Each structure stands twice: as C-alpha cells, then as structure tokens.
Amino acid sequence: MVSKGTCHRLGDDVNTDYVIASKYRSMGLDFKAMKEHLFEDLDPGLAARMKAGDFIVAGKNFGMGSSREQAPLVIKEAGITAILAKSFARIFYRNAFNIGLPLVETDTDKIGESDTLDIDLDKGMVTDSSKSLELSIKPLPGFMQELLKEGGAVNYFKKHGKLPEV
Amino acid sequence: MLKARGKTIAEKILALHSGREVSASEIVLAQVDLLMGHDWNTHLTIQVLKDMGVEKVFDPGKAVLVLDHAVPSPNEKVSEMQRATEEFAREQGIRFYPSGQGICHQLLPEQGHVAPGMLVVGCDSHTPTYGAVNAFAVGVGSTDTAAALASGHLWFRVPQTMKVLLENKLPKGVYAKDLALRIIGGATAEGANYMAVEFGGSGVGHLSMDARFTLSNMAAEMGAKAALFEADEITKTWLAARVSHPYTVISPDPDASYSRFLEWDLSSLVPQIARPHRVDDVVPITELEGTRMHQGVLGTCTNGRLEDLGVAARILKGRRIFPGFRLIIVPASKEVLIEAIRIGILEDLVESGAMIIPPGCGPCHGASQGVPRDGENVISSSNRNFKGRMGNNKSFIYLASPASVAAAAVEGKVVDPRKYLG
C-alpha cells in the first residue's frame, strides 16, 4: 500500500472512549451517524476537520481501554487511510487489522500537525515531506500483512474460506 | 546444554490449549474453552458471522451472552440491539442472561462458567477479571469473537509476564482498589500492555475473592492481556459452591521467567484516588481532602460485589448522605443484590439516601442512567475516569474504593475513609 495525505496530530494514550463514546454505540451498525461524533470528547471540532485520505498520528499506546471494534470502524468510516503511533494498545491493534485498517508503528515524535506524509507499507517507509524526514516502520507478522492485503478478516475469509495461518 | 527455563501461568495455560510447549513472544493458535459477549458488542459479532457466511457457531455450549450494558433499555435503539443479542442466543442455543441478572464479569465466575486453567475469550476489555480464579481470560473485539465462535480457536501472542509480589496485609480502611490504583499509578496506563500480570507473594492469602476480582479487573487499565492469581484454598472454597466439574489448578514454575517484578508491602498502603481524566493519575486520597463531590457511583465490574456494598453500609448505616449529593448503587449481580437484601445492608444504604439501580454496568460508561451535570465532580468505584466516560464531557470523574465513595457521600467532599472505619 502506498498513500499520500495530511495528518492530524494527537497525543499519548488516546483511549477508545475518545475515539467513539460508549453512548453512541447504541447507534448499532450506523457508522455514518457515529462518524459525526468521532473524537468528540477529546476535540469536538476534529471530526469536521478530517477528510478522506488523511492520517492520524499519535504518541504511545493509541487505542487503550475498551475493546469496542466500533473505534477502528468509525475511523475507517471517516476515510482515514492509516494510523501512525509509537505504540498501540493490544485489543485496538487486533481489531484494526481485522477490519483492514493499517496501523503503522514508528517514532512519531517529529511529525507535526498537518504535515504531509507518504506511506509505503510494502517498503516499510514513512516520508514526512513537510519536514524532509524519513522514518522506518516496525515490520508486521506475515499473517497480518495478508489480512491487510485482503482488506481485513471478513474479506480474507470470504476469499479463502478460512483465516490466514499464524 | 542450556537448561529449559520454567514457565509462567500464562505460558502453561496457552501450552495446554495449543497442544505444544510454548514460550513468551511466540504466536500460537489456541483452543478456546469459553466465549463471552454482551449487548454493546454482540450485534457487531453477529454481523461479522453473517458477512463470513457462518450460520452455526462451533460449539454453543462454549458461549455465554449477557445483557448488562444498559439495563433496562433506555431507548428503542438499545432495545433493538438487545433483541438482536437475545435472538442470536436463542437461535444458536447459547446460554443467555437477560437484563438485570448482573454484569458479565460478575456472572461468568459467579455462575460457575469459569474454572482454573481455562482459556476464556471475552468481547470486552475487562475480561481479565476471571484471572482471579486462575483462568487465562483475555479481551478481544467483535471480529476475533466471531472467528473464535465460528472455529473454536483464536491466535495469541504468548505474553511476557509481569510478576506482582504482594507481602503482608492491607491496613484497616485500605482495600484492593487502593492497591490497584497505586500499582497503575506507578506502572502507567501502558505499563502492562501486551503482558500477562501474575499476582503472588504471601499477601495474596489475606485477599478475599472479591478483592482478587478487583485486582484482576483493574489490571486491564495498565493494558494487561490477562491478570492471573494462583488457585489457593480461598479460591477452591469459593469455587466449590459454583463449579461441579473437575479442574486442574495451574501454578507457575519456581524458575519461571518474568519480564518485570513489582513488589508491594500491603501494610504500608494508604487510600488512593485517581484524578480526572486518567486512571494512572493517582495520589493518596489525603492530597485531595476537601474537594467538593456531587455524585457517587458504587458498583461496576470493579467494585459492585457484596464486600463492596458491605463496607459502604458500615459507613452509611445510621448516617444521611450529604444534602444534594446523589449516591447511585449498582449491585454487580442478582445474587449480590439478594444477599445484600438478606443480610440487611441494602436497607442501611437506602435509608441513608442512596439510590439502587438494577444489576448491570450502571452509570460507568454513560449510556443510560446517572449522567452527571455540567461542572460536577463524581467519585466512583469504577475503573475508568476518561473525559466524558459517564456521558458528560463537562464533568470530572475521580476513582476510589467503595469506602472512599461512601465517606464522600456522607460529607459531600473527598475525605479519608479511615476515620469511619477505626
């Protein structure tokens, strides 16, 4: 996957309640409606500023807290191409790959708000053209790369009749 | 020749379920003994199964579904989500607990679904709670739950283990919740990310099962994948009334390898409080004494058990809660509620001015009752104090023990609960 976009900078320990508050999970499977409330308790204006093709860039432990799969699903619904962070919480990490949302583990300290990024998942490289900065990506286990390639666990299962071998 | 090192509880349980010896950091495909889902996620799991074309779950006898996140339903959308979960349980022949029976994390151990040595997967981040009964219990999302429901298996990375050694006994007025907050305050919100936590040391023998459930539950707040206790006589006595089938207790090897050691002298601990909006922003409660509180929440999968209600009743019996303060009490299950009625503590709590709401998650995640007003401070026995967690991002949540919640209810402000428990 190769993509170019603008980033929205967030801090450390962004929890999944901040991604989508629990009360909005009563909207069931209506992710379009939930999208209006993305990051509402963290930064009420952020959802309106996000556009398709953008990236989220965060510090450490992104996605901590609740196991809600609605969190990566709503981020995906908003058109975010990938999330870059220094580290991810474990349940969010699994959920994101399962739904086909790429997570990029890299040192995000020098990436600034609204920087333009080029991400090449195949080469394992992030370029911040606003800062002339090149960052390497922590490689993924093979079966998670396969999941991403097929766009998540459901698509993989539909195509292959099973989930990838670990 | 290198001597093979010993194994942690996590390594042993994952080895038993993947049919081979395993060590930390390996990725394994493991057989799952029990799966749990609830009303706030199961509609997604059902959709994933539908999308995958799976009509029948692998083994309905290995699954439990619970309505607990907003009970009774506050609106028509929730009613329909709960209908979806209930109908799925009926169609598949899955054991189902309707609204008002209790919180999933209380019901599964209490009703005998969980035994030592089991591998439990729950569609909820507080699933590690069952580690208190020596089970490797791990939280996942809806797609993983669907995959495990469909196949009976799920992949795991075998976690490194953080050993938490507890020595001596907690002083009067200091509880497992204070210990949990103190540990998280030191280790931080990502201190155990991807790790199992294993509690040990001579202090464990002084901790009741209710206290151990609190510790395993709170380990999720530092990212723990599982939070395991060994099964001792206290565990076995507690299980005797609940689990009828034979089980094998799993103990760590004396030469097991741990990635990190923490050691706590329980006798030196004091009551703690987590400040808004971070669970790991923890200080001794005396530092915040006098801070005005407007609402208290006593309950949740962290602290809604009989001992928790009991200590609150000790403080509130014969007293009135502070004028204007709202104390909301949510027993963790029907069994807890009935026992609280039977031994009379419910009367003491209600007489003091507290409100009782049905067993379930209650105000903890802001999806039904007990939403605080703008600018208010809430003191809660729950596990998360993120901004907006209780449904209003203009309120402020402090986390503390049931005793500290009850003491704050009496005075309308943060106080050291030890003065009520001499």
What interface predicted TM-score (ipTM) does this complex get? 0.97
Calpha distance A68→B408 (Å, rounded): 32
The predicted structure's pLDDT at residue B2: 56
Q: What is the DSSP code string of B13-38? A: HHHHHHTS---TT-EEEEE-SEEEEE
Task: Give the nearest chain B residue to A142 (CA atoms).
Answer: B27
pLDDT tens figures, B400-421: 999 999 999 999 999 999 999 9
Instruction: Please report residues of A whose CB lies closer than 8 A to that of B14.
Output: none
Instruction: Please report residues of B whose CB lies closer than 8 A to that of A161.
Output: none
Same domain assignment for residues B114 and B133: yes
Domains in chain B, number: 2
Is B234 contained in some domain? yes
Distance from CA of B184 to the nearest CA of A (A): 13
CB B170 within 8 A of CB B267: yes
Q: Which residue has the tokens 């401070």?
A: B377
Averaged over successive runs of 10 residues, the pLDDT of chain A (166 residues) comes to 94 98 95 97 96 98 98 98 97 96 96 97 93 92 89 92 86
Is B2 contained in some domain? no
- Tell me the two tokens of residue B286: 């005396």
- CB distance A64–B391 less than 8 Å? no
- Write down all domains in chain A, each with its CATH number in brackets: 2-138 (3.20.19.10)
pLDDT tens figures, B102-160: 999 999 999 999 999 999 999 999 999 999 999 999 999 999 999 999 999 999 999 99
Same domain assignment for residues B240 and B279: no
Same domain assignment for residues B214 and B294: no
A 59-98 residues inside an 8 A Cβ radius of B? 60-61, 64-70, 73, 87, 89-91, 94-95, 98
Is B43 contained in some domain? yes
Query: Which of the listed residues B221, B240, B264 is the one where a domain comes to its end?
Result: B264
Instruction: Please report residues of A whose CB lies closer than 8 A to that of B225.
Output: 90
Same domain assignment for residues B377 and B413: yes
The predicted structure's pLDDT at residue B3: 61
Distance from CA of B81 to the nearest CA of A (A): 7
Instruction: Please report residues of A whose CB lies closer than 8 A to that of B160.
Output: none
Same domain assignment for residues B225 and B286: no
Same domain assignment for residues B159 and B229: yes
Same domain assignment for residues B307 and B229: no
A40 touches chain B (CB under 8 A): yes
Task: Supply φ then ψ for residue A100, to 5 degrees.
Answer: 80, 25
Q: At a CB cut-off of 8 Å and minimum separation 6, what does B8 contact?
A: B24, B161, B196, B198, B252, B253, B256, B257, B258
- CB distance A22–B223 less than 8 Å? no
Same domain assignment for residues B245 and B295: no
- The SS3 call for residue B216 is helix
Instruction: Please report residues of A whose CB lies closer than 8 A to that of B362.
Output: none
Is B175 contained in some domain? yes
A25 touches chain B (CB under 8 A): yes
Sign of CA dihedral B217, B310, B389, A72: positive
Same domain assignment for residues B248 and B113: yes
Calpha distance B3→B283 (Å, rounded): 44
The predicted structure's pLDDT at residue A120: 94
- CB distance A68–B141 less than 8 Å? yes
Distance from CA of B43 to the nearest CA of A (A): 7
B407-422: string of b/e by CB count within 10 Å (b at 16+)?
A: bbbbbbbbbbbbebbe
Distance from CA of B385 to the nearest CA of A (A): 10
Nearest to B139 among A91, A99, A154 (CB): A91
> Of A49, A123, A54, A122, whose CA–CA distance to A84 is shortest?
A54
Is B122 contained in some domain? yes
Is B306 contained in some domain? yes
- The SS3 call for residue A127 is strand
Instruction: Please report residues of A whose CB lies closer than 8 A to that of B365.
Output: 17, 22-23, 66
Q: What is the CATH number of the domain that holds B373?
A: 3.30.499.10
Is B303 contained in some domain? yes
The predicted structure's pLDDT at residue B1: 47
Nearest to A29 among B47, B151, B389 (CB): B47
Query: Which of the listed residues B217, B242, B264 is the one where a domain comes to its end?
Result: B264
Q: Which residue has the tokens 């510090």?
A: A59
Query: Which of the listed residues B242, B264, B286 is the one where a domain comes to its end?
Result: B264
Give the residues across from B66 on adjacent strands. B38, B97
- The SS3 call for residue B364 is helix
Same domain assignment for residues B242 and B297: no
Optimal mutation site among A12, A14, A18, A22, interface B, most CBs of chain B within 10 A? A22
Same domain assignment for residues B297 and B395: yes
Q: Which residues of chain B have pLDDT under 70?
A: 1-3
- CB distance B386–A25 less than 8 Å? no
Residue B133 sits in which domain range? 9-264
- CB distance B223–A89 less than 8 Å? yes
CB B201 within 8 A of CB B166: yes
Same domain assignment for residues B146 and B223: yes
Is B393 contained in some domain? yes
Give the residues across from B139 on adjacent strands. B122
